[in-house]
Amino acid sequence: MNTLKGKFIITGKIKVLTGLHIGTSGDFSAIGAVDNIVIRDAVTNKPIIPGSSLKGKMRYLLSRAKYNSTLTMPNIKKESDDIKRLFGASEPVVLSRLQFCDMLLREKDYGRDVEFDLPYTEIKYENTIDRGTGIANPRQQERVPAGSEFDFRLIYNIENTENMEEEVKCDFENILLMFELLEDDYLGGHGTRGYGRVKFEDLKLIEKVYIKENEDDIEYLKSEIENIENYTEIFGK
């Protein structure tokens, strides 16, 4: 078991650039209701981005872009050690260094009077066309509208390993790469039809030290992270 020396916490926001649809497995459509609804917070009724959705997409993009040289995705048990270190594994057991949080919708002034179709969301009407008969099959998609913003928080555990400097730098190179990959891809469903374009904004890196004697090590690691080539581009400094 690696000793926990501290944490790096990345905070900021995710801005929705095009309508975002992250559905729920509990979809139920009564007659006349929306066909495909978005997942919402049970208390506030606001749409959320589940941490599991972001984690799965980032893991997939990183594996596909950097470590996968085949046409098919490898068995998750055969993924690179760099990916297992970030996301965890069960065989052998590897603790995940990343902790993803559910992202809650921010209150936002759109600068004009906006009337949403449903609380905080819009309805997009689409058709699927039967190529054999030419008959249209209309459907409704609930989406979080463009311009919406979600609070973002990603936690990285700093562990006491022999290769701490090398591993932390590699891990953050991959984290920054995942931010870029996701911005050039999409989040949620129906991305090939233009849904789910997002952008990370106002990102900040905060260090947290639990034992005073680890403070110098963590400050040094933070300075090494800030020297990564695309750090300034991602964090806007």
**Does the N-terminal peptide bond of residue 138 adopt cis geometry, omega within 30 degrees of 0?**
no
**Cα distances (angstroms) measured from residue 169 to each of 87, 126, 158:** 16, 45, 11
Any idea which of 68-72, 135-139, 185-189 has the lowest mean pLDDT? 68-72
Does residue 198 register a pLDDT over 80?
A: yes
Whether 102 and 50 have beta carbons less than 8 Å apart is answered as yes
Residue type, 70: T
**Distance separating alpha carbons of residues 83 and 178, to the nearest angstrom:** 11
Q: Across 66-70, 94-98, 121-125, which has the greatest mean pLDDT?
A: 94-98
Residue spans per domain, the chain: 3-17+47-107+146-235
In what helix (H) or strand (E) does residue 183 lie, and over which residues does it extend? helix 164-183
Q: For residue 167, name the pLDDT band (cuts at 50, 70, 90).
A: very high
Per the structure block, which two tokens stand in for 34? 């929306």
**Distance separating alpha carbons of residues 155 and 171, to the nearest angstrom:** 12
Q: Above pLDDT 70, what percent of the chain? A: 88
Q: Across 23-37, 97-111, 197-211, which has the greatest mean pLDDT?
A: 197-211
How many residues in the chain?
Answer: 237
User: Which has more pLDDT, 201 or 130?
Assistant: 201
Per the structure block, which two tokens stand in for 178? 């995942």
E strands, the chain, in order:
3-16, 48-49, 89-90, 93-94, 98-100, 103-104, 122-129, 136-143, 149-160, 198-209
Q: What pTM was computed for the model?
A: 0.86
Any idea which of 115-129, 146-160, 172-186 has the lowest mean pLDDT? 115-129
Q: Give per-residue pLDDT as tens, 19-57.
A: 999 987 655 544 445 668 899 999 999 999 999 999 999
**Distance separating alpha carbons of residues 154 and 51, to the nearest angstrom:** 9
Whether 205 and 235 have beta carbons less than 8 Å apart is answered as yes
Q: Residue 208, Cα to own-chain centre: how many angstroms?
A: 22
Q: Give per-residue pLDDT as tens, 129-139.
A: 777 787 777 77
Chain-wide mean pLDDT for the chain? Answer: 86
Closest CA relative to residue 235, chosen from 208, 204, 210: 204
Closest CA relative to residue 237, chosen from 188, 204, 195: 204
Computed on alpha carbons and rounded to an integer, the radius of gyration of the chain in Å comes to 20
Per the structure block, which two tokens stand in for 112? 């004009």
What pLDDT score was predicted for residue 136?
A: 72
Q: For residue 223, name the pLDDT band (cuts at 50, 70, 90).
A: very high
